[in-house]
Amino acid sequence: MKLTKNEISFLSHELSEKNQIGLFTNVHSILVGTEQSTLKEKGLYKDGKLTDLSNEMLKIVAKPEKCSRLILRDNAFLIEKYAYKSNNKIVLAENDNGDMLFSSPKNFDNTIMALSEFTGMSNIKTSDIEVLLPVDEMLVLLAMVDIYRKNAMLSYWGQKTEATIKFADIRERLDEPVQNSLLKMLVNNYNYSVPKVENTKNILESLIDKNIACFTTGYALTKQYAEFGTSFLIPKTVVMLETFNVNDQNRIATAGVLCISAGLQDVVSFIFTDGEIEISSITGSYMLKIIENFLNCPNVTDGEMI
């Protein structure tokens, strides 16, 4: 079943039961007067109301108990999918050049196989990191990782780089995150504010205490984080995942994951919780498992999936 934006806007007035995470609450368009007739032609609207076929599916989309969103960007490609779940039934909605394509899949096998064309299915990863940090510490860590990434690429051009990082270089990276940097992806997409200058040295000391960074003549990352910084070079595929639950008090609980790949064996995930971020190097096949889990609309309580 495919609906245009105008048809969705028309149906938003027809569906009386809606909630905050449903599609029909969030799509608005100026009607042109042909929506009812085009819906009739599609067999979705008859005698002034939705047909049984369309009503069963769209009432889940209008008032789901849970909803998940997937956005995949890969160079010129943009894929956008939504999963709506109610009473253990799932409706998948996919953006099709501005229209929305709806289906009720028995499973997500075909969807995962299609997405694997972008993510790969590797079971191998180049580096091995996993740590949960307060937001400020994560942003400083990413600033250092981005400097390692830049130096690794410069070395391929035969340019000599310093073995350690000056404090001023870290601050410069925080103040002006560069295009395609991990730091900029988090700051831009999740509205994080970088730590203030006066707090940065204390944050670096905390990273040293956690054996993530060290200091000699300058700052440096410890072995496993340095390996990550020198291997994770050019981001290729970005997958943003969010899931929303409506609880008994009609409040919305959310959880989110950002996955970025810089090659078949260089994939990283960011899991967002209240005031903290977990970064992990993962495999392409594990990223597909994360995607499938989100499309199945997991239970969420206070920003954590259970």
- The phi-psi region of residue 11 (left if phi > 0; otherwise alpha if psi is between -120 and 50; otherwise beta) is alpha
What DSSP string describes 186-204? HHHHH-PPPPPHHHHHHHH
CA gap 170, 203 in Å, rounded: 12
Specify the pLDDT at position 302.
Answer: 62
Residue 15's pLDDT band (cuts 50, 70, 90): confident
Q: Is the pLDDT of residue 247 over 80?
A: no
Arch. (CATH architecture) of 130-231: Orthogonal Bundle (1.10)
Euclidean distance between CA atoms 43 and 60, whole angstroms: 19
- Identify the helix (H) or strand (E) that includes residue 41: helix 35-41
Convert the pLDDT of each residue in 131-174 to its tens digit: 999 999 999 999 999 999 999 999 988 888 888 999 999 999 99
Strand spans (E) along 104-156: 130-134
- Provide the residue type at 106 as one letter: K
Q: Between these two residues, 143 and 57, which has the higher pLDDT value?
A: 143
**Which residue type occupies 24?**
F
Output the furthest CA–CA distance in the chain (Å, rounded): 79
Burial 161-180 (b: 16+ CB within 10 A, else e): eeeebeeebbbebbeebeee
Domain spans, the chain: 2-119, 130-231
What is the structure's pLDDT at 17? 85
Which range among 47-51, 269-273, 299-303 shows the weakest confidence by mean pLDDT? 299-303
pLDDT of residue 171: 96
The amino acid sitting at 50 is L
b (16+ CB within 10 A) / e for 78-101: ebebbbbbbeeebbbbbeeeeebe
**Per-residue CA distances from 58 to 8, 69, 89, 210, 240 (Å):** 10, 17, 12, 50, 25
Q: What percent of the chain has pLDDT over 90?
A: 68
55 pLDDT above the threshold of 90: no
**76-81: average pLDDT:** 93
Supply the pLDDT for residue 303. 60
pLDDT above 80: residue 26: no
Q: What is the pLDDT of residue 111?
A: 95
Query: How far from 120 is each of 27, 123, 287, CA to CA, in Å?
Result: 33, 9, 9
Report helix, strand or coil for 292: helix
What is the average pLDDT value for the chain, to the nearest integer?
A: 91
Residue 28 above 80 pLDDT? Answer: no
- Half-sphere exposure for 271 (CA within 13 Å, toward CB): 15
306 has pLDDT over 80: no
Closest CA to 182 of 281, 54, 249: 281
